[in-house]
């Protein structure tokens, strides 16, 4: 007899997150006319510099590991440069991909938040005490020299940006020069949030995408803290409720997950994904008849829905599960 596999619910959550994720271009990096908003320093005081930000001098072609190590250490992660390099440096490419940078941040139980384009986004994070990793092209369009660095300071009065960059602990660049090099990466920048922290200027879609990525790594306790922080900013948001419910389920907190799925259904009685996951939560508590009733309701609502096959799979799981699941 087939037993219940909790990964099926997690898989449902992953597919939902993937369906709503923003499309991102990843640029390979080897370390060798701007919108008006980009030149806006934003609300940060001037001058501002996070002087206590650690510094790790890069080895050849390894600006990615050094820059990420700076961010992780600044956010309280205990690791080594060798460990970070093993995760993000691609010897065959002599560089690091943004995908690896993001993945290594999640592996360290941090939320890698990709900032909106604009200097105001960077200065807001600096004002909140968080350095910002940026991707620059120090060459030209036809001969690029991709490079990761970490912004630790901004001074509107002197029109300068301060970075931890390469082998320079304190590299100062004129802001127009920095912006030109940053623009060539489509203004890609990120910071690392501790679970429970919100970005300085939170964007709902960017935040949900970032936390969903963390959830997919299996760090459910960290994801729970991040979902809770999101709900403090956007109370009763269906996507955030769903993410928190899935994290509670994965942690074995079935009654808490049940309450959250019910909250989603009170907002939208036709939410098939909430009803499906509610049914799985009920069967996990040994309440199979209630679970079947929820799936029957969902199947009656699912005419023509692409989720029909998933609902039928859940129905089969319930029928083959003789009793509840214990932690």
CATH fold label, 31-193: Cathepsin B; Chain A (3.90.70)
| Residue 271 or 64, more confident | 271
Quote the pLDDT of residue 204: 97
What integer pLDDT is reported at residue 91 of this predicted model? 56
pLDDT at 116 over 90: yes
Residue 125 has pLDDT above 60, yes or no: yes
In angstroms, the CA 161 to CA 49 distance is 9
| Cis amide leading into 214 (omega within 30) | no
Which of 16-30, 96-110, 313-327 is most confident? 96-110
Query: How many angstroms separate the Cα of 205 from the Cα of each of 7, 31, 77?
Result: 25, 30, 26
d(CA 60, CA 52): 25
Which are the contacts of 304, defined by CB distance < 8 A and separation ≥ 6?
none
Confidence of residue 43 (pLDDT cuts 50, 70, 90): low
Q: What is the mean predicted confidence (pLDDT) over 211-223?
A: 95
Confidence of residue 29 (pLDDT cuts 50, 70, 90): very low
Residue closest to 258 by CA, chosen among 222, 219, 291? 291
Residues 219-251 have pLDDT tens digits of 999 999 999 999 999 998 999 999 999 999 999
Q: What is the pLDDT of residue 61?
A: 58
Query: Residue 202: CB partners within 8 Å, gap ≥ 6?
Result: 233
Exposure on the CB side of residue 171, measured as CA atoms within 13 A: 16
pLDDT tens string 52-71: 999 988 776 568 888 999 99
Q: Give residue 32's pLDDT band: very low, low, confident or very high (50, 70, 90).
A: very low
Closest CA to 82 of 102, 104, 97, 103: 104
Q: What is the pTM of this model?
A: 0.83
Instruction: Identify the band that residue 72 occupies on the pLDDT scale cut at 50, 70 and 90.
Output: very high
**Domain locations in the chain as residue ranges:** 7-20+236-319, 31-193
Q: What is the pLDDT of residue 55?
A: 93
DSSP letters spanning 101-112: HHHHHHHTT-EE
Residues 6+ apart with CB under 8 A from 29: 63, 64, 95, 96, 97, 98, 135, 146, 147, 148
Q: Binning pLDDT at 50, 70 and 90, where does residue 47 land? A: confident
Classified as helix, coil or strand, 155 is strand
Residue 86's pLDDT band, with cuts at 50, 70 and 90, is confident
Q: What's the pLDDT at 44?
A: 65
Q: What angle do CA 221, 231, 194 make, to 5 degrees?
A: 45
Q: Is the pLDDT at 12 greater than 80, yes or no? A: no
Highest mean pLDDT of the ranges 13-17, 24-28, 83-87, 264-268? 264-268
Which residues is 96 bridged to in the sheet? 29, 89
**pLDDT of 46:** 75
Which has more pLDDT, 44 or 248?
Answer: 248
Give the confidence band of 88 by pLDDT, cuts at 50, 70, 90. confident
Nearest to 318 by CA among 306, 290, 259: 290
The listed CATH number (1.25.40.10, 1.10.760.10, 3.40.50.11540, 3.30.470.20) that belongs to domain 7-20+236-319: 1.25.40.10
């Amino acid at each position: 007899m087939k037993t219940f596999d909790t990964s099926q619910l997690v898989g449902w959550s992953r597919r939902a997150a993937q369906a709503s994720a923003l499309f991102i271009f990843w640029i390979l990096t080897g370390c060798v006319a701007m919108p008006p908003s980009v030149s806006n320093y934003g609300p940060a005081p001037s001058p501002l510099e996070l002087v206590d930000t650690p510094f790790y001098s890069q080895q050849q072609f390894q600006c990615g590991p050094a820059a990420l190590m700076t961010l992780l250490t600044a956010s309280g992660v205990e690791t080594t440069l060798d460990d970070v390099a093993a995760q993000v440096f691609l010897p065959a490419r002599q560089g690091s991909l943004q995908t690896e940078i993001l993945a290594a941040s999640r592996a360290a139980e941090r939320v890698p938040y990709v900032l909106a384009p604009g200097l105001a986004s960077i200065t807001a994070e600096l004002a909140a005490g968080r350095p910002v990793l940026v991707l620059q092209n120090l060459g030209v369009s036809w001969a690029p020299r991709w490079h990761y660095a970490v912004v630790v300071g901004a001074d509107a009065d002197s029109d300068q940006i301060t970075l931890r960059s390469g082998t320079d602990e304190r590299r100062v660049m004129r802001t127009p020069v920095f912006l030109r090099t940053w623009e060539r990466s489509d203004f890609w920048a990120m910071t690392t949030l501790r679970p429970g922290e919100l970005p300085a200027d939170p964007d709902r879609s960017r935040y949900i995408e970032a936390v969903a990525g963390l959830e997919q790594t299996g760090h459910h306790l960290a994801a729970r803290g991040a979902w809770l922080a999101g709900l403090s900013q956007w109370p009763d948001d269906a996507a955030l409720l769903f993410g928190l419910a899935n994290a509670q389920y994965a942690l074995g907190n079935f009654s808490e997950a049940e309450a959250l799925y019910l909250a989603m259904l009170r907002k939208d009685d036709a939410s098939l994904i909430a009803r499906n996951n509610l049914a799985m939560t009920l069967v996990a508590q040994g309440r199979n008849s209630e679970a079947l009733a929820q799936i029957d309701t969902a199947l009656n609502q699912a005419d023509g829905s692409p989720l029909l096959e998933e609902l039928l799979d859940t129905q089969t799981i319930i029928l083959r599960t003789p009793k509840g699941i214990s932690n």
